[in-house]
Amino acid sequence: MSNEDFRRELNNVFDGVSGSPSSNLPDRVRSAVAHAPDERAPYWIAGVAAAVIAVLIVGVLFVAGPLRPSPSTVGAVHSPSPSPSASATSQASATPSASPSAQAFVCSTSPQSTQSASHATPPPLAYIDALRTGIHTGYDRLTIEFANGAQVSVDILVQSGTTFTMSPSGMQTTLKGKNGILIVIHGTDLHTSYSGPTDIVTGYSGLAEVKRVEDFEGVVQLGLGVNGAACYHVQWLTNPNRLVIDIQNS
């Protein structure tokens, strides 16, 4: 059935049921039926547009953050911050020649003992390979250097006068100066690696003379003649291993 036939049939049915209460009522009904689809179309389009706009707004809110759910931290693993690397340690350098303080000098006549640092496997004897003297402000220095390690023990004795007993001969020897200091070194010798003088006259104001008075069976004795009071300071230095004895000269 065509649209025209449908409208005509509907008009006839309506006229038959309702009669003719109004002269223009059939025209209004026919107009409403004919134009109803066109008038509904804008409302349908508007509804679809409103739905699309609503979807876009919700999507923007979700992306921007207000509607986005917070991430779960359950089971999360955080890598620890890297710890700073240890600073590299510097390699030990040669021990400098330390200067004694005035309070460090020993002036007692009581025997004093000192011992070098121990070694895991010490040599049978620590050979002396150098005897050196030097003058400094406030003190004169005697340096006893060891060639193959320095595990030795040392006794220091202060005496009045500069006469010492030679060993093993037992002969007496007198050094320059007013007072004496006897250095006794156990576990060493002064002939295997040493070829220098065994009697050193310095001419210093403090340390006047150094003389070997014993070198026998692993024991070396050095007699020191001192011009003034026999005040001294002892220290061990390394690289190379050496015993340093400073004699106060003022």
pLDDT of the residue at 149 = 75
Average pLDDT over residues 232-237: 94
Shared domain check, 223 and 155: yes
Tell me the C-alpha to C-alpha distance, in Å, between residue 71 and each of 62, 74, 210.
14, 9, 86
14 and 29 Cβ atoms separated by less than 8 Å = yes
More confident residue, 7 or 82: 7
Assess if residue 150 is contained within a domain: yes
pLDDT of the residue at 31 = 60
Q: DSSP letters along the chain, please? A: --HHHHHHHHHHHHHHHH--S-TTHHHHHHHHHHHHHHHHHHHHHHHHHHHHHHHHHHHHHHHHSTTSPPPP-TT---PPPPPPPPPPPPPP-PPP-PPPPGGG-B--SS-EEEEPPP-SS--SSEEEEEEEEEEETTEEEEEEEESS----EEEEEEEEBSEEE-BTT--EEE-SSSEEEEEEEESEESSSS--S-SEEE---SSEEEEEEEEEETTEEEEEEEESS---EEEEEETTTTEEEEEEE--
The count of other CB atoms within 10 Å of the CB of residue 244 is 19
pLDDT tens for 151-163 read 789 999 999 999 9
Shared domain check, 115 and 222: yes
pLDDT of the residue at 51 = 72
The count of other CB atoms within 10 Å of the CB of residue 186 is 15
The answer for 106, left when phi > 0, alpha when psi is -120 to 50, beta otherwise, is beta
Q: DSSP letters along 100-136, please? A: PPGGG-B--SS-EEEEPPP-SS--SSEEEEEEEEEEE
Shared domain check, 205 and 137: yes
Shared domain check, 203 and 127: yes
Q: Which pLDDT band, with edges at 50, 70 and 90, does 89 fall under?
A: very low
Shared domain check, 110 and 191: yes
Assess if residue 97 is contained within a domain: no
Shared domain check, 230 and 114: yes
More confident residue, 144 or 17: 144
Shared domain check, 30 and 127: no
104 and 168 Cβ atoms separated by less than 8 Å = no
pLDDT of the residue at 179 = 97
Please say if the pLDDT value at position 97 is more than 90.
no
> Roughly how many angstroms between the first and final C-alpha of the chain, as a whole number?
143
Average pLDDT over residues 58-65: 55
Shared domain check, 214 and 116: yes
pLDDT of the residue at 96 = 59
| pLDDT cut 90: percent of the chain above it | 46
Assess if residue 221 is contained within a domain: yes
Assess if residue 178 is contained within a domain: yes
Tell me the C-alpha to C-alpha distance, in Å, between residue 74 and each of 69, 77, 197, 217.
14, 9, 84, 80
Shared domain check, 204 and 142: yes
Domain extent for 35: 3-64
Average pLDDT over residues 83-111: 55
CATH number at residue 135: 2.60.40.3500
Nearest-angstrom CA–CA distance, 26 and 19: 10
Assess if residue 72 is contained within a domain: no
Average pLDDT over residues 208-212: 98
Assess if residue 92 is contained within a domain: no
pTM (two decimals): 0.55
Shared domain check, 220 and 129: yes
Average pLDDT over residues 66-73: 46
Assess if residue 122 is contained within a domain: yes
Shared domain check, 241 and 141: yes
Assess if residue 75 is contained within a domain: no
224's tokens: 């020191």
Please say if the pLDDT value at position 115 is more than 70.
no
How many domains does one find in the chain? 2
Shared domain check, 194 and 113: yes
